[in-house]
A and B are shown apart, each in its own frame.
Chain A
Amino acid sequence: MTVISTPAESPKAPPVTRKNRSSGAQRRAVAIFIAPFALLFIAFYAIPIVYAVIQSLLTVEREGTFGKPEQVFGGLVQYQQVFQNTAFWEAVARVLLFGVVQVPVMLGLALLFALLLDSPLLKGKKFFRLAFFAPYAVPGVIAAIMWGFLYSPSLSPFGAVTSNVDFLGADLVLWAIANIVTWVYVGYNMLIIYASLLAIPTEIYEAARLDGASNIQIAWRIKIPLVVPAIILTAVFSIIGTLQLLAEPQTLRSFSSAISSTYTPNLAVYTTASIPNYNLAAAFSVVLALATFILSFVFLKATQRKVSQ
Protein backbone atom coordinates (compact mmCIF):
# COMPACT_ATOMS: atom_id res chain seq x y z
CA MET A 1 0.00 0.00 0.00
CA THR A 2 0.91 3.47 -0.16
CA VAL A 3 2.24 3.68 3.20
CA ILE A 4 5.37 2.90 1.54
CA SER A 5 6.61 6.18 0.52
CA THR A 6 5.11 7.79 3.52
CA PRO A 7 7.32 6.88 6.41
CA ALA A 8 9.61 9.42 4.81
CA GLU A 9 6.85 11.97 5.08
CA SER A 10 6.98 13.09 8.69
CA PRO A 11 3.72 13.38 10.61
CA LYS A 12 4.24 17.11 10.54
CA ALA A 13 2.52 17.75 7.25
CA PRO A 14 2.07 21.40 6.46
CA PRO A 15 -1.17 22.89 7.70
CA VAL A 16 -3.73 22.60 5.00
CA THR A 17 -6.36 25.08 5.94
CA ARG A 18 -5.97 28.79 6.15
CA LYS A 19 -5.38 30.86 9.24
CA ASN A 20 -9.04 31.63 9.70
CA ARG A 21 -9.51 27.91 10.23
CA SER A 22 -10.65 27.64 13.81
CA SER A 23 -14.12 28.85 13.10
CA GLY A 24 -16.70 27.25 15.34
CA ALA A 25 -18.20 25.20 12.54
CA GLN A 26 -14.88 23.63 11.64
CA ARG A 27 -14.03 22.88 15.23
CA ARG A 28 -17.36 21.18 15.64
CA ALA A 29 -16.79 19.21 12.45
CA VAL A 30 -13.39 18.01 13.67
CA ALA A 31 -14.95 16.86 16.93
CA ILE A 32 -17.63 14.94 15.03
CA PHE A 33 -15.08 13.35 12.69
CA ILE A 34 -12.76 12.24 15.45
CA ALA A 35 -15.17 11.33 18.23
CA PRO A 36 -16.31 7.86 16.99
CA PHE A 37 -12.78 6.60 16.48
CA ALA A 38 -11.54 8.21 19.67
CA LEU A 39 -14.29 6.60 21.75
CA LEU A 40 -13.73 3.14 20.27
CA PHE A 41 -9.97 3.51 20.58
CA ILE A 42 -10.25 4.42 24.26
CA ALA A 43 -12.71 1.61 24.95
CA PHE A 44 -10.97 -1.19 23.05
CA TYR A 45 -7.30 -0.14 22.98
CA ALA A 46 -6.44 2.25 25.79
CA ILE A 47 -8.57 0.80 28.58
CA PRO A 48 -7.55 -2.83 27.87
CA ILE A 49 -3.89 -1.84 27.97
CA VAL A 50 -4.34 -0.08 31.31
CA TYR A 51 -6.45 -2.96 32.55
CA ALA A 52 -3.80 -5.50 31.55
CA VAL A 53 -1.18 -3.55 33.48
CA ILE A 54 -3.43 -3.39 36.55
CA GLN A 55 -4.23 -7.11 36.36
CA SER A 56 -0.56 -7.91 36.04
CA LEU A 57 0.10 -6.11 39.33
CA LEU A 58 -2.45 -8.19 41.24
CA THR A 59 -2.04 -11.59 42.75
CA VAL A 60 -4.49 -14.13 44.13
CA GLU A 61 -4.43 -14.92 47.82
CA ARG A 62 -6.44 -17.47 49.77
CA GLU A 63 -7.07 -17.79 53.45
CA GLY A 64 -5.82 -21.29 54.03
CA THR A 65 -5.88 -23.93 51.32
CA PHE A 66 -9.64 -23.91 50.82
CA GLY A 67 -10.32 -20.27 51.56
CA LYS A 68 -12.07 -17.92 49.21
CA PRO A 69 -9.63 -16.61 46.59
CA GLU A 70 -9.12 -12.88 46.71
CA GLN A 71 -7.21 -10.56 44.40
CA VAL A 72 -4.77 -8.33 46.23
CA PHE A 73 -2.08 -5.94 45.08
CA GLY A 74 1.08 -7.93 44.56
CA GLY A 75 3.48 -5.40 43.13
CA LEU A 76 5.85 -6.94 40.65
CA VAL A 77 5.29 -10.51 41.83
CA GLN A 78 3.85 -11.56 38.46
CA TYR A 79 6.74 -10.01 36.59
CA GLN A 80 9.15 -11.90 38.80
CA GLN A 81 7.27 -15.02 37.72
CA VAL A 82 7.47 -13.99 34.09
CA PHE A 83 11.21 -13.61 34.29
CA GLN A 84 11.60 -16.95 36.00
CA ASN A 85 9.35 -18.73 33.52
CA THR A 86 11.76 -20.58 31.26
CA ALA A 87 9.01 -21.89 28.98
CA PHE A 88 7.98 -18.32 28.15
CA TRP A 89 11.52 -17.22 27.36
CA GLU A 90 12.13 -20.33 25.30
CA ALA A 91 9.05 -19.35 23.32
CA VAL A 92 10.38 -15.81 22.88
CA ALA A 93 13.76 -17.14 21.73
CA ARG A 94 11.97 -19.51 19.33
CA VAL A 95 9.97 -16.76 17.60
CA LEU A 96 13.05 -14.52 17.46
CA LEU A 97 15.00 -17.29 15.70
CA PHE A 98 12.00 -17.77 13.45
CA GLY A 99 11.91 -14.05 12.62
CA VAL A 100 15.64 -13.73 12.00
CA VAL A 101 15.39 -16.42 9.31
CA GLN A 102 11.86 -16.13 7.95
CA VAL A 103 11.50 -12.35 7.62
CA PRO A 104 14.62 -11.81 5.46
CA VAL A 105 13.78 -14.83 3.27
CA MET A 106 10.21 -13.67 2.77
CA LEU A 107 11.12 -10.04 2.08
CA GLY A 108 14.02 -11.08 -0.17
CA LEU A 109 11.64 -13.17 -2.27
CA ALA A 110 9.05 -10.37 -2.27
CA LEU A 111 11.68 -7.91 -3.47
CA LEU A 112 12.93 -10.28 -6.17
CA PHE A 113 9.40 -10.84 -7.50
CA ALA A 114 8.59 -7.13 -7.39
CA LEU A 115 11.76 -6.32 -9.35
CA LEU A 116 10.98 -9.01 -11.92
CA LEU A 117 7.42 -7.69 -12.27
CA ASP A 118 8.89 -4.24 -12.81
CA SER A 119 11.51 -5.41 -15.33
CA PRO A 120 10.97 -5.76 -19.07
CA LEU A 121 11.82 -9.47 -18.83
CA LEU A 122 8.41 -10.91 -18.02
CA LYS A 123 5.28 -11.69 -19.95
CA GLY A 124 1.93 -12.28 -18.25
CA LYS A 125 2.63 -9.94 -15.36
CA LYS A 126 -1.01 -9.63 -14.39
CA PHE A 127 -1.31 -13.39 -13.99
CA PHE A 128 1.81 -13.65 -11.82
CA ARG A 129 0.66 -10.75 -9.68
CA LEU A 130 -2.66 -12.44 -8.95
CA ALA A 131 -1.24 -15.95 -8.56
CA PHE A 132 1.36 -14.82 -6.04
CA PHE A 133 -1.13 -12.69 -4.14
CA ALA A 134 -3.84 -15.38 -3.97
CA PRO A 135 -2.51 -17.08 -0.79
CA TYR A 136 -3.04 -13.81 1.07
CA ALA A 137 -6.76 -14.55 0.81
CA VAL A 138 -6.23 -17.76 2.80
CA PRO A 139 -6.58 -17.19 6.58
CA GLY A 140 -3.73 -18.45 8.76
CA VAL A 141 -5.87 -21.20 10.25
CA ILE A 142 -6.96 -22.50 6.85
CA ALA A 143 -3.41 -22.26 5.48
CA ALA A 144 -2.16 -24.26 8.45
CA ILE A 145 -4.86 -26.91 7.96
CA MET A 146 -4.00 -27.17 4.26
CA TRP A 147 -0.26 -27.41 4.77
CA GLY A 148 -0.83 -29.73 7.72
CA PHE A 149 -2.37 -32.22 5.29
CA LEU A 150 0.36 -31.56 2.72
CA TYR A 151 3.06 -32.23 5.33
CA SER A 152 1.49 -35.34 6.81
CA PRO A 153 3.15 -38.60 5.72
CA SER A 154 -0.10 -40.45 5.00
CA LEU A 155 -2.28 -37.86 3.26
CA SER A 156 0.22 -35.73 1.41
CA PRO A 157 0.27 -35.78 -2.39
CA PHE A 158 4.03 -35.67 -1.98
CA GLY A 159 4.13 -38.80 0.13
CA ALA A 160 7.50 -39.79 -1.30
CA VAL A 161 9.01 -36.72 0.32
CA THR A 162 6.93 -36.45 3.47
CA SER A 163 7.36 -40.08 4.46
CA ASN A 164 11.13 -39.57 4.45
CA VAL A 165 11.35 -36.05 5.83
CA ASP A 166 9.47 -35.46 9.06
CA PHE A 167 8.28 -31.89 8.55
CA LEU A 168 6.07 -32.14 11.62
CA GLY A 169 8.80 -33.47 13.93
CA ALA A 170 10.54 -31.44 16.61
CA ASP A 171 13.50 -30.53 14.38
CA LEU A 172 11.64 -29.14 11.42
CA VAL A 173 8.22 -28.04 12.59
CA LEU A 174 9.34 -24.46 13.27
CA TRP A 175 10.45 -24.20 9.64
CA ALA A 176 7.28 -25.91 8.49
CA ILE A 177 5.42 -23.03 10.16
CA ALA A 178 7.86 -20.54 8.59
CA ASN A 179 6.99 -21.98 5.19
CA ILE A 180 3.26 -21.50 5.82
CA VAL A 181 3.74 -17.88 6.89
CA THR A 182 6.01 -17.20 3.91
CA TRP A 183 3.51 -18.81 1.55
CA VAL A 184 0.71 -16.58 2.80
CA TYR A 185 2.55 -13.24 2.96
CA VAL A 186 5.14 -13.11 0.15
CA GLY A 187 2.61 -11.91 -2.42
CA TYR A 188 1.23 -9.22 -0.13
CA ASN A 189 4.70 -7.83 0.57
CA MET A 190 5.55 -8.14 -3.12
CA LEU A 191 2.59 -5.90 -3.99
CA ILE A 192 3.60 -3.25 -1.45
CA ILE A 193 7.14 -3.11 -2.85
CA TYR A 194 5.87 -3.26 -6.43
CA ALA A 195 3.52 -0.31 -5.83
CA SER A 196 6.44 1.78 -4.67
CA LEU A 197 8.55 0.68 -7.67
CA LEU A 198 5.78 1.92 -9.97
CA ALA A 199 6.00 5.32 -8.30
CA ILE A 200 9.62 5.89 -9.38
CA PRO A 201 9.74 8.36 -12.28
CA THR A 202 10.91 6.66 -15.48
CA GLU A 203 13.27 9.46 -16.43
CA ILE A 204 15.73 8.17 -13.86
CA TYR A 205 16.08 4.87 -15.72
CA GLU A 206 16.35 6.57 -19.11
CA ALA A 207 19.36 8.53 -17.95
CA ALA A 208 20.98 5.43 -16.45
CA ARG A 209 20.33 3.42 -19.63
CA LEU A 210 21.93 6.08 -21.78
CA ASP A 211 24.94 5.82 -19.50
CA GLY A 212 25.06 2.13 -20.34
CA ALA A 213 23.69 0.68 -17.11
CA SER A 214 22.33 -2.87 -17.36
CA ASN A 215 18.99 -3.98 -15.92
CA ILE A 216 20.72 -5.54 -12.96
CA GLN A 217 22.73 -2.39 -12.27
CA ILE A 218 19.58 -0.30 -12.48
CA ALA A 219 17.80 -2.64 -10.09
CA TRP A 220 20.69 -2.71 -7.63
CA ARG A 221 21.80 0.92 -7.73
CA ILE A 222 18.55 2.78 -8.37
CA LYS A 223 15.45 0.75 -7.70
CA ILE A 224 16.37 -0.99 -4.47
CA PRO A 225 17.61 2.16 -2.67
CA LEU A 226 14.42 3.95 -3.69
CA VAL A 227 12.10 1.27 -2.31
CA VAL A 228 13.89 0.94 1.02
CA PRO A 229 11.07 2.76 2.87
CA ALA A 230 8.58 0.19 1.55
CA ILE A 231 10.84 -2.66 2.63
CA ILE A 232 11.23 -1.13 6.10
CA LEU A 233 7.46 -0.91 6.42
CA THR A 234 6.94 -4.54 5.41
CA ALA A 235 9.74 -5.53 7.81
CA VAL A 236 8.08 -3.78 10.75
CA PHE A 237 4.77 -5.50 10.08
CA SER A 238 6.55 -8.82 9.71
CA ILE A 239 8.35 -8.38 13.03
CA ILE A 240 5.04 -7.59 14.77
CA GLY A 241 3.43 -10.59 13.08
CA THR A 242 6.24 -12.93 14.08
CA LEU A 243 6.05 -12.08 17.78
CA GLN A 244 2.29 -12.61 17.63
CA LEU A 245 2.42 -16.06 16.03
CA LEU A 246 -0.53 -18.09 17.24
CA ALA A 247 -3.03 -19.32 14.68
CA GLU A 248 -0.63 -21.44 12.61
CA PRO A 249 1.16 -23.26 15.46
CA GLN A 250 -2.09 -23.70 17.41
CA THR A 251 -3.79 -25.24 14.36
CA LEU A 252 -0.82 -27.46 13.53
CA ARG A 253 -0.95 -28.94 17.02
CA SER A 254 -3.56 -31.38 15.78
CA PHE A 255 -1.09 -32.59 13.14
CA SER A 256 2.10 -32.52 15.19
CA SER A 257 2.90 -33.50 18.73
CA ALA A 258 6.11 -31.46 18.60
CA ILE A 259 4.29 -28.18 19.28
CA SER A 260 3.95 -27.67 23.01
CA SER A 261 1.24 -25.62 24.69
CA THR A 262 3.79 -22.83 25.21
CA TYR A 263 5.42 -23.04 21.79
CA THR A 264 5.05 -19.32 21.04
CA PRO A 265 4.61 -16.43 23.52
CA ASN A 266 0.96 -16.00 22.56
CA LEU A 267 0.30 -19.71 23.00
CA ALA A 268 1.79 -19.33 26.47
CA VAL A 269 -0.60 -16.45 27.14
CA TYR A 270 -3.54 -18.53 25.97
CA THR A 271 -2.51 -21.61 27.94
CA THR A 272 -1.87 -19.61 31.10
CA ALA A 273 -5.19 -17.82 30.76
CA SER A 274 -7.04 -21.13 30.42
CA ILE A 275 -5.59 -22.50 33.67
CA PRO A 276 -6.95 -19.86 34.62
CA ASN A 277 -4.13 -17.66 35.88
CA TYR A 278 -5.25 -14.31 34.51
CA ASN A 279 -2.72 -12.23 36.42
CA LEU A 280 0.30 -14.08 35.09
CA ALA A 281 -1.23 -14.20 31.60
CA ALA A 282 -1.78 -10.43 31.78
CA ALA A 283 1.86 -9.95 32.77
CA PHE A 284 2.91 -12.11 29.77
CA SER A 285 0.74 -9.95 27.51
CA VAL A 286 2.23 -6.73 28.85
CA VAL A 287 5.81 -7.97 28.44
CA LEU A 288 5.04 -9.22 24.93
CA ALA A 289 3.34 -5.99 23.86
CA LEU A 290 6.20 -3.91 25.26
CA ALA A 291 8.80 -6.09 23.56
CA THR A 292 6.95 -5.86 20.24
CA PHE A 293 6.53 -2.14 20.54
CA ILE A 294 10.15 -1.50 21.46
CA LEU A 295 11.53 -3.84 18.82
CA SER A 296 9.50 -2.35 15.97
CA PHE A 297 10.07 1.19 17.21
CA VAL A 298 13.84 0.72 17.50
CA PHE A 299 13.90 -0.93 14.08
CA LEU A 300 11.98 2.00 12.56
CA LYS A 301 14.23 4.60 14.17
CA ALA A 302 17.46 2.77 13.33
CA THR A 303 16.56 2.28 9.70
CA GLN A 304 15.19 5.79 9.30
CA ARG A 305 18.45 7.24 10.52
CA LYS A 306 20.38 5.10 8.07
CA VAL A 307 18.15 6.13 5.20
CA SER A 308 18.39 9.81 5.93
CA GLN A 309 22.16 9.71 6.24
Chain B
Amino acid sequence: MATPATASKRPRGGSTTASDVETRGRGPRQSIMSRSAAMLVMGVFTLYFLTPIWWLLTTSTKTGGEITSTAPLWFTTNSLGTFFDNLGRLFTYGDGLFGRWLLNSAVYAGVGALIGTVIAAMCGYALAKYEFRGREAIFNVVLSGVLVPATALALPLFLIFSRVELTNTMLAVFLPSLVSPFGVYLARIYAAASVPGELLEAARLDGSGEIRTFFTVSTRLMAPALVTIFLFQFVAIWNNFFLPLIMLRDQALFPVTLGLYAWNSQISQIPELRSLVIVGALVSIVPLIIAFLALQRFWSSGLGAGSVK
Protein backbone atom coordinates (compact mmCIF):
# COMPACT_ATOMS: atom_id res chain seq x y z
CA MET B 1 0.00 0.00 0.00
CA ALA B 2 2.22 2.72 1.24
CA THR B 3 5.27 1.04 -0.17
CA PRO B 4 5.29 2.58 -3.66
CA ALA B 5 4.62 5.99 -2.24
CA THR B 6 7.46 5.68 0.21
CA ALA B 7 9.74 4.41 -2.49
CA SER B 8 9.06 7.27 -4.87
CA LYS B 9 9.66 9.82 -2.17
CA ARG B 10 13.14 8.59 -1.70
CA PRO B 11 16.09 9.84 -3.64
CA ARG B 12 17.58 6.38 -4.08
CA GLY B 13 19.33 5.39 -7.23
CA GLY B 14 19.37 8.96 -8.38
CA SER B 15 22.64 10.66 -9.13
CA THR B 16 21.94 14.01 -7.56
CA THR B 17 21.28 13.12 -3.97
CA ALA B 18 22.65 15.16 -1.15
CA SER B 19 25.18 12.45 -0.42
CA ASP B 20 26.67 12.60 -3.89
CA VAL B 21 27.07 16.31 -3.64
CA GLU B 22 28.63 15.99 -0.23
CA THR B 23 31.02 13.21 -1.12
CA ARG B 24 32.06 14.58 -4.47
CA GLY B 25 35.26 15.79 -2.87
CA ARG B 26 36.27 12.18 -2.30
CA GLY B 27 35.81 11.50 -5.95
CA PRO B 28 33.44 9.21 -7.81
CA ARG B 29 35.92 6.33 -7.75
CA GLN B 30 34.94 5.29 -4.28
CA SER B 31 31.33 5.29 -5.27
CA ILE B 32 32.05 3.08 -8.27
CA MET B 33 34.03 0.76 -6.04
CA SER B 34 31.30 0.41 -3.45
CA ARG B 35 28.76 -0.02 -6.22
CA SER B 36 30.73 -2.87 -7.76
CA ALA B 37 31.36 -4.41 -4.36
CA ALA B 38 27.63 -4.38 -3.65
CA MET B 39 26.83 -5.88 -7.06
CA LEU B 40 29.54 -8.51 -6.58
CA VAL B 41 28.12 -9.60 -3.21
CA MET B 42 24.61 -9.82 -4.62
CA GLY B 43 25.84 -11.59 -7.76
CA VAL B 44 27.70 -14.28 -5.82
CA PHE B 45 24.70 -14.93 -3.61
CA THR B 46 22.37 -15.04 -6.61
CA LEU B 47 24.45 -18.01 -7.77
CA TYR B 48 24.17 -19.56 -4.31
CA PHE B 49 20.39 -19.22 -4.25
CA LEU B 50 19.63 -20.18 -7.83
CA THR B 51 22.20 -22.87 -8.66
CA PRO B 52 20.40 -25.67 -6.76
CA ILE B 53 17.13 -24.84 -8.51
CA TRP B 54 18.94 -24.63 -11.87
CA TRP B 55 20.52 -28.02 -11.17
CA LEU B 56 17.09 -29.44 -10.45
CA LEU B 57 15.83 -28.06 -13.75
CA THR B 58 18.69 -29.41 -15.89
CA THR B 59 18.75 -32.76 -14.10
CA SER B 60 15.03 -33.19 -14.71
CA THR B 61 15.82 -33.34 -18.41
CA LYS B 62 18.13 -36.34 -18.12
CA THR B 63 17.78 -40.08 -17.94
CA GLY B 64 19.07 -41.90 -14.87
CA GLY B 65 22.36 -42.72 -16.59
CA GLU B 66 22.88 -39.22 -17.99
CA ILE B 67 22.78 -37.66 -14.52
CA THR B 68 26.34 -38.74 -13.84
CA SER B 69 27.68 -39.02 -17.37
CA THR B 70 26.80 -35.57 -18.79
CA ALA B 71 27.67 -31.99 -17.88
CA PRO B 72 25.86 -31.50 -14.57
CA LEU B 73 24.57 -27.97 -14.93
CA TRP B 74 23.62 -28.03 -18.59
CA PHE B 75 21.14 -29.70 -20.90
CA THR B 76 21.75 -32.62 -23.24
CA THR B 77 20.98 -32.68 -26.95
CA ASN B 78 17.77 -34.55 -26.27
CA SER B 79 16.69 -32.67 -23.16
CA LEU B 80 13.15 -31.77 -24.12
CA GLY B 81 12.23 -35.30 -25.14
CA THR B 82 13.74 -36.83 -22.01
CA PHE B 83 12.00 -34.25 -19.85
CA PHE B 84 8.56 -35.17 -21.20
CA ASP B 85 9.51 -38.80 -20.95
CA ASN B 86 10.37 -38.30 -17.27
CA LEU B 87 7.15 -36.39 -16.70
CA GLY B 88 5.17 -39.23 -18.25
CA ARG B 89 6.87 -41.80 -16.04
CA LEU B 90 6.37 -39.54 -13.01
CA PHE B 91 2.63 -39.32 -13.47
CA THR B 92 2.10 -42.97 -14.40
CA TYR B 93 4.33 -44.65 -11.80
CA GLY B 94 2.36 -46.56 -9.18
CA ASP B 95 -1.03 -45.91 -10.83
CA GLY B 96 -0.60 -42.15 -10.91
CA LEU B 97 0.28 -41.75 -7.25
CA PHE B 98 2.13 -38.52 -7.89
CA GLY B 99 -0.88 -36.77 -9.39
CA ARG B 100 -2.87 -37.91 -6.40
CA TRP B 101 -0.26 -36.38 -4.07
CA LEU B 102 -0.33 -33.06 -5.89
CA LEU B 103 -4.10 -33.02 -5.64
CA ASN B 104 -3.95 -33.85 -1.94
CA SER B 105 -1.48 -31.04 -1.32
CA ALA B 106 -3.73 -28.66 -3.22
CA VAL B 107 -6.63 -29.63 -0.97
CA TYR B 108 -4.67 -29.55 2.29
CA ALA B 109 -2.89 -26.29 1.53
CA GLY B 110 -5.27 -24.53 -0.88
CA VAL B 111 -8.61 -25.21 0.75
CA GLY B 112 -7.10 -25.30 4.23
CA ALA B 113 -5.39 -21.91 3.88
CA LEU B 114 -8.51 -20.38 2.32
CA ILE B 115 -10.79 -21.39 5.18
CA GLY B 116 -8.04 -20.72 7.72
CA THR B 117 -7.56 -17.18 6.39
CA VAL B 118 -11.26 -16.35 6.65
CA ILE B 119 -11.42 -17.70 10.20
CA ALA B 120 -8.26 -15.88 11.26
CA ALA B 121 -9.38 -12.65 9.59
CA MET B 122 -12.73 -12.70 11.40
CA CYS B 123 -11.10 -13.26 14.77
CA GLY B 124 -8.30 -10.71 14.24
CA TYR B 125 -10.81 -8.16 12.99
CA ALA B 126 -13.01 -8.59 16.07
CA LEU B 127 -9.96 -8.22 18.32
CA ALA B 128 -8.93 -5.02 16.55
CA LYS B 129 -12.25 -3.31 16.00
CA TYR B 130 -14.47 -4.15 18.96
CA GLU B 131 -14.07 -3.58 22.64
CA PHE B 132 -15.38 -6.37 24.79
CA ARG B 133 -14.57 -8.16 27.99
CA GLY B 134 -11.79 -10.71 27.71
CA ARG B 135 -10.36 -9.17 24.57
CA GLU B 136 -6.85 -8.86 25.94
CA ALA B 137 -7.05 -12.33 27.45
CA ILE B 138 -8.01 -13.82 24.09
CA PHE B 139 -5.27 -11.92 22.32
CA ASN B 140 -2.68 -13.12 24.84
CA VAL B 141 -3.79 -16.70 24.36
CA VAL B 142 -3.43 -16.27 20.59
CA LEU B 143 0.04 -14.80 21.08
CA SER B 144 1.09 -17.75 23.22
CA GLY B 145 -0.26 -19.97 20.48
CA VAL B 146 2.20 -18.35 18.08
CA LEU B 147 5.06 -19.44 20.32
CA VAL B 148 3.90 -23.06 20.71
CA PRO B 149 5.77 -25.16 18.16
CA ALA B 150 3.33 -26.91 15.84
CA THR B 151 5.39 -30.08 15.94
CA ALA B 152 4.82 -30.39 19.68
CA LEU B 153 1.12 -30.75 18.86
CA ALA B 154 1.56 -33.49 16.27
CA LEU B 155 1.94 -36.39 18.69
CA PRO B 156 -0.96 -35.53 21.05
CA LEU B 157 -3.12 -34.84 17.98
CA PHE B 158 -2.26 -38.29 16.71
CA LEU B 159 -3.20 -39.87 20.05
CA ILE B 160 -6.51 -37.99 20.15
CA PHE B 161 -7.35 -38.76 16.52
CA SER B 162 -6.57 -42.42 17.06
CA ARG B 163 -9.12 -42.50 19.89
CA VAL B 164 -11.85 -41.31 17.55
CA GLU B 165 -10.41 -43.43 14.73
CA LEU B 166 -9.64 -40.54 12.45
CA THR B 167 -5.95 -41.22 11.91
CA ASN B 168 -5.02 -42.12 8.36
CA THR B 169 -7.77 -39.92 6.94
CA MET B 170 -7.49 -36.62 5.08
CA LEU B 171 -9.32 -34.87 7.91
CA ALA B 172 -6.52 -35.75 10.31
CA VAL B 173 -4.18 -33.48 8.38
CA PHE B 174 -6.75 -31.00 7.11
CA LEU B 175 -8.52 -29.99 10.34
CA PRO B 176 -5.52 -29.08 12.53
CA SER B 177 -4.04 -27.09 9.62
CA LEU B 178 -6.96 -24.65 9.72
CA VAL B 179 -5.76 -23.06 12.95
CA SER B 180 -3.23 -20.27 12.52
CA PRO B 181 -2.66 -18.08 15.61
CA PHE B 182 -0.08 -16.15 13.62
CA GLY B 183 -2.75 -15.37 11.04
CA VAL B 184 -5.00 -13.94 13.76
CA TYR B 185 -2.09 -11.86 15.04
CA LEU B 186 -1.42 -10.48 11.54
CA ALA B 187 -5.13 -9.90 10.84
CA ARG B 188 -5.49 -7.90 14.03
CA ILE B 189 -2.56 -5.64 13.10
CA TYR B 190 -3.76 -5.20 9.52
CA ALA B 191 -7.34 -4.52 10.55
CA ALA B 192 -6.23 -1.94 13.09
CA ALA B 193 -4.09 -0.24 10.43
CA SER B 194 -6.38 -0.36 7.42
CA VAL B 195 -10.02 -0.26 8.56
CA PRO B 196 -10.93 3.17 9.95
CA GLY B 197 -13.36 3.17 12.87
CA GLU B 198 -15.29 6.07 11.36
CA LEU B 199 -16.11 3.93 8.35
CA LEU B 200 -17.66 1.29 10.58
CA GLU B 201 -19.66 3.97 12.39
CA ALA B 202 -20.89 5.26 9.05
CA ALA B 203 -21.88 1.76 7.97
CA ARG B 204 -23.77 1.35 11.25
CA LEU B 205 -25.64 4.61 10.68
CA ASP B 206 -26.56 3.33 7.24
CA GLY B 207 -28.08 0.33 8.95
CA SER B 208 -25.61 -2.23 7.67
CA GLY B 209 -25.19 -5.24 9.93
CA GLU B 210 -21.79 -5.89 11.52
CA ILE B 211 -21.23 -9.16 9.70
CA ARG B 212 -22.27 -7.72 6.36
CA THR B 213 -19.99 -4.72 6.86
CA PHE B 214 -17.11 -7.07 7.54
CA PHE B 215 -17.61 -9.13 4.40
CA THR B 216 -18.48 -6.27 2.03
CA VAL B 217 -16.37 -3.35 3.26
CA SER B 218 -13.67 -4.41 5.70
CA THR B 219 -12.36 -7.44 3.81
CA ARG B 220 -11.79 -5.22 0.77
CA LEU B 221 -9.70 -2.82 2.80
CA MET B 222 -7.80 -5.73 4.26
CA ALA B 223 -7.32 -7.50 0.90
CA PRO B 224 -3.51 -7.24 0.58
CA ALA B 225 -3.22 -8.42 4.16
CA LEU B 226 -5.54 -11.33 3.53
CA VAL B 227 -3.51 -12.43 0.52
CA THR B 228 -0.38 -12.29 2.69
CA ILE B 229 -1.99 -14.36 5.44
CA PHE B 230 -3.30 -16.83 2.86
CA LEU B 231 0.09 -17.25 1.19
CA PHE B 232 2.01 -17.78 4.37
CA GLN B 233 -0.52 -20.25 5.73
CA PHE B 234 -0.52 -21.99 2.35
CA VAL B 235 3.25 -22.36 2.53
CA ALA B 236 3.11 -23.50 6.15
CA ILE B 237 0.62 -26.28 5.31
CA TRP B 238 2.35 -27.23 2.04
CA ASN B 239 5.65 -27.58 3.94
CA ASN B 240 4.22 -29.30 7.00
CA PHE B 241 5.94 -32.61 7.43
CA PHE B 242 5.53 -33.97 10.94
CA LEU B 243 1.74 -34.00 11.02
CA PRO B 244 1.20 -36.03 7.82
CA LEU B 245 4.23 -38.19 8.65
CA ILE B 246 2.72 -39.22 11.95
CA MET B 247 -0.96 -39.34 10.87
CA LEU B 248 -0.95 -41.06 7.49
CA ARG B 249 -0.17 -44.65 6.53
CA ASP B 250 -2.04 -44.86 3.23
CA GLN B 251 0.17 -43.52 0.42
CA ALA B 252 -2.89 -42.33 -1.49
CA LEU B 253 -3.53 -39.71 1.20
CA PHE B 254 0.02 -38.30 1.28
CA PRO B 255 0.74 -34.68 0.44
CA VAL B 256 3.40 -34.33 -2.23
CA THR B 257 6.25 -33.59 0.20
CA LEU B 258 5.64 -36.74 2.21
CA GLY B 259 5.25 -38.74 -0.99
CA LEU B 260 8.59 -37.58 -2.37
CA TYR B 261 10.17 -38.23 1.02
CA ALA B 262 8.84 -41.78 0.89
CA TRP B 263 10.17 -42.34 -2.65
CA ASN B 264 13.49 -40.79 -1.72
CA SER B 265 13.96 -43.21 1.15
CA GLN B 266 13.35 -46.16 -1.21
CA ILE B 267 15.97 -45.14 -3.79
CA SER B 268 18.52 -47.67 -2.58
CA GLN B 269 16.05 -50.52 -3.23
CA ILE B 270 14.44 -49.06 -6.37
CA PRO B 271 17.09 -47.01 -8.22
CA GLU B 272 14.69 -45.93 -10.97
CA LEU B 273 12.96 -43.73 -8.38
CA ARG B 274 15.95 -41.39 -8.36
CA SER B 275 15.04 -39.54 -11.55
CA LEU B 276 11.37 -39.56 -10.54
CA VAL B 277 12.24 -37.90 -7.24
CA ILE B 278 14.19 -35.19 -9.07
CA VAL B 279 11.48 -34.45 -11.63
CA GLY B 280 8.85 -34.69 -8.91
CA ALA B 281 10.71 -32.18 -6.75
CA LEU B 282 10.79 -29.75 -9.66
CA VAL B 283 7.08 -30.21 -10.41
CA SER B 284 6.16 -29.81 -6.74
CA ILE B 285 7.83 -26.42 -6.32
CA VAL B 286 6.39 -24.94 -9.50
CA PRO B 287 2.90 -24.24 -8.05
CA LEU B 288 4.41 -22.34 -5.12
CA ILE B 289 6.69 -20.26 -7.31
CA ILE B 290 3.78 -19.45 -9.64
CA ALA B 291 1.57 -18.52 -6.66
CA PHE B 292 4.20 -16.19 -5.26
CA LEU B 293 4.91 -14.55 -8.62
CA ALA B 294 1.24 -14.16 -9.54
CA LEU B 295 0.28 -12.69 -6.19
CA GLN B 296 3.47 -10.68 -5.77
CA ARG B 297 1.70 -7.34 -6.05
CA PHE B 298 -0.58 -8.22 -3.17
CA TRP B 299 1.86 -9.76 -0.75
CA SER B 300 4.63 -7.28 -1.28
CA SER B 301 2.24 -4.46 -0.48
CA GLY B 302 0.80 -6.59 2.31
CA LEU B 303 4.31 -6.85 3.72
CA GLY B 304 4.59 -3.11 3.76
CA ALA B 305 1.06 -2.31 4.86
CA GLY B 306 1.35 -3.03 8.53
CA SER B 307 4.79 -1.57 8.99
CA VAL B 308 3.69 1.84 7.75
CA LYS B 309 1.84 3.60 10.45
Contacts and interface: CB of A to CB of B under 8 A. Distances in A.
B56 interface: yes
Interface footprint category on B: 35 or more
27 contacts: A9-B189, A16-B197, A17-B129, A17-B130, A22-B132, A37-B119, A44-B153, A44-B179, A45-B145, A45-B181, A51-B160, A52-B155, A119-B12, A123-B13, A131-B49, A137-B235, A139-B257, A140-B241, A141-B258, A142-B284, A146-B55, A149-B278, A155-B68, A156-B72, A209-B18, A215-B19, A278-B155
A198 B257 contact: no
A157 B59 CA distance: 10
Interface in B115-132: 119-120, 122-123, 125-132
Contacts of A146: 52-53, 55-56, 281
Contacts of A244: 149-152
Interface string A174-208: 00000000010011000110011011001001100
Given A49-B148, A135-B49, A212-B22, A254 B268 contact: yes
B122 A2 contact: no
Interface stretch (B37-45, B80-88, B93-101): B37-45
Interface of A: 1-6, 9, 11-13, 15-18, 21-22, 25-30, 32-34, 36-38, 40-41, 43-45, 47-49, 51-52, 55, 109, 112-113, 116, 118-123, 128, 130-143, 145-150, 154-157, 159, 183, 186-187, 191-192, 195-196, 198-199, 202, 205-206, 209-210, 212, 214-215, 230, 236, 240, 243-244, 246-247, 250-251, 253-254, 266, 269-270, 273, 278, 281-282, 285-286, 288-289, 292-293, 296-297
Chain B residues touching A, majority SS = helix
Contact of A122 (B39, B148, B281): B39
Nearest to A25: B210
- A-B complex: 5 closest residue pairs judged by Cβ atoms: A2-B306, A157-B72, A29-B210, A289-B152, A33-B126
